[in-house]
């Protein structure tokens, strides 16, 4: 059992960017009665997030009062990466938390009963104008995904959403996904690794993607879009026990989160502004970076495509069921 739990913790990595901020999850868990607005008591809800652009909607929703309208007082706790996110929910340190889809699929595959309650961020669906992409340096012989076969490609975490989607698009383009050598390089370090020829190609997310392109790099695959132009990348999840035992709390959080997603999608400048309050991304960079698409509904077909690929390439022991993991 000990080995199994360790495996879960090791596998539960998400798109965490330590250069964008820092923090640690709260040691207090569960919804408790918090402060009050007037005579109305608010229920305190702890939410684990990562300081990246994808999490802007929850900050905006908190600022706009959407959670207070539901009687909730958010306690947003930041973590530098995924190692603390899933265990934080399992232990009760977080009532809800943010993670990419593969990480929660992996945790579920390892026996943890988790489920998404709200969407988080999705691909823009536009090739060359997405929040992530596989970049090669100027003059590279790599012209398309199939050319990545036999090459060294950096991702921020192995056996996660990056290498899973890249293997899929390489195979779709006629290349051999098994021959791609993946190495771990943090997103902030990826442009330098590419420039110094430590890797043949690098999978990079915004805001570092824009920098790599500005430095002369070329996007050879918008891997999220190439897998599915409707791909959902991340969402907010909790334990199945919370959904069953605290149904009203879950419904309130979901309603407020959905309203926050809709607001963020309709107000991109406010997204760029609020990102500056919880990350170290400067204003000129925020002004140029591509934003995720924020939407309420998960796309079940795209979810199946991602889950099937994760099982095919060995990230999961079996393909997950959308009904088991999605709202």
Q: Could you tell me the pLDDT band of residue 8, with boundaries at 50, 70 and 90? A: very low
Residue 30: exposure state from Cβ atoms within 10 A (0-12, 13-18, ≥19): middle
Give the pLDDT confidence score for residue 82 in this predicted structure: 65
Which tens digit of pLDDT belongs to each residue from 99-112? Answer: 999 999 999 999 99
Reply yes or no on whether the pLDDT at 121 is more than 70. Answer: yes
Averaged pLDDT of the chain: 89
| pTM (predicted TM-score) | 0.87
Give the pLDDT confidence score for residue 9 in this predicted structure: 39
Considering the chain, what percentage of its residues have pLDDT values greater than 90? Answer: 83
Question: What is the SS3 assignment for 25?
Answer: coil
Instruction: For residue 274, report the phi and psi dihedrals to the nearest 5 degrees.
Output: -70, -25
> Which residue is listed with tokens 């969402």?
235
Query: Span 265-286, mean pLDDT?
Result: 96
Nearest to 61 by CA among 310, 270, 241: 270
Which tens digit of pLDDT belongs to each residue from 53-100? Answer: 999 999 999 999 999 999 999 999 998 666 679 999 999 999 999 999
Q: Could you tell me the pLDDT band of residue 16, with boundaries at 50, 70 and 90? A: very low
> Which residue is listed with tokens 């669906």?
125
Reply yes or no on whether the pLDDT at 32 is more than 70. Answer: no
Q: Could you tell me the pLDDT band of residue 145, with boundaries at 50, 70 and 90? A: very high
Query: Span 207-219, mean pLDDT?
Result: 92
Query: Span 214-231, mean pLDDT?
Result: 96
Give the pLDDT confidence score for residue 128 in this predicted structure: 95
Q: Could you tell me the pLDDT band of residue 301, with boundaries at 50, 70 and 90? A: very high
Query: Span 176-196, mean pLDDT?
Result: 94
> Which regions of the chain does DSSP assign to beta strands (E)?
32-37, 40-49, 72-78, 96-100, 114-122, 132-136, 152-155, 181-184, 201-205, 218-221, 232-239
Cβ–Cβ under 8 Å, residues 36 and 42: yes
């Amino acid at each position: 059992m000990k080995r199994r739990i360790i495996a879960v913790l090791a596998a539960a990595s998400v798109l965490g960017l330590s250069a964008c901020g820092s923090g640690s999850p709260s040691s207090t868990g569960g919804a408790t009665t918090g402060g009050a607005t007037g005579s109305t008591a608010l229920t305190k809800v702890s939410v684990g997030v990562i300081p990246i652009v994808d999490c802007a909607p929850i900050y905006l929703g908190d600022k706009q009062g959407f959670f207070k309208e539901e009687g909730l007082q958010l306690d947003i706790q930041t973590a530098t990466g995924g190692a603390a996110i899933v265990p934080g929910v399992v232990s009760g340190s977080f009532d809800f938390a943010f993670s990419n889809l593969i990480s929660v699929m992996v945790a579920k595959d390892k026996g943890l009963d988790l489920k998404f309650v709200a969407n988080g961020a999705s691909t823009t669906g536009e090739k060359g104008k997405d929040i992530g992409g596989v970049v090669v340096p100027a003059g590279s012989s790599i012209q398309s995904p199939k050319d990545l076969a036999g090459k060294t490609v950096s991702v921020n975490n192995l056996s996660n959403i990056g290498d899973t989607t890249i293997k899929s698009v390489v195979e779709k383009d006629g290349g051999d996904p098994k021959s791609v050598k993946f190495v771990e390089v943090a997103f902030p370090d990826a442009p330098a690794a590419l420039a110094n020829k430590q890797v043949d190609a690098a999978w990079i997310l915004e805001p570092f993607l824009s920098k790599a392109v500005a430095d002369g790099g070329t996007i050879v695959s918008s891997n999220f879009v190439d897998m599915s132009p409707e791909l959902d990348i991340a969402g907010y999840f909790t334990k199945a026990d919370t959904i069953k035992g605290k149904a009203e709390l879950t419904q309130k959080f979901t309603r407020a989160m959905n309203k926050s997603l809709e607001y963020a999608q309709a107000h991109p400048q406010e997204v760029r502004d609020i990102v500056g309050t919880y990350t170290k991304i400067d204003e000129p960079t925020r002004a140029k970076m591509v934003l995720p698409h924020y939407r309420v509904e998960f796309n079940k077909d795209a979810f199946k495509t991602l889950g099937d690929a994760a099982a095919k390439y060995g990230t999961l022991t079996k393909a997950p069921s959308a009904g088991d993991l999605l709202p």
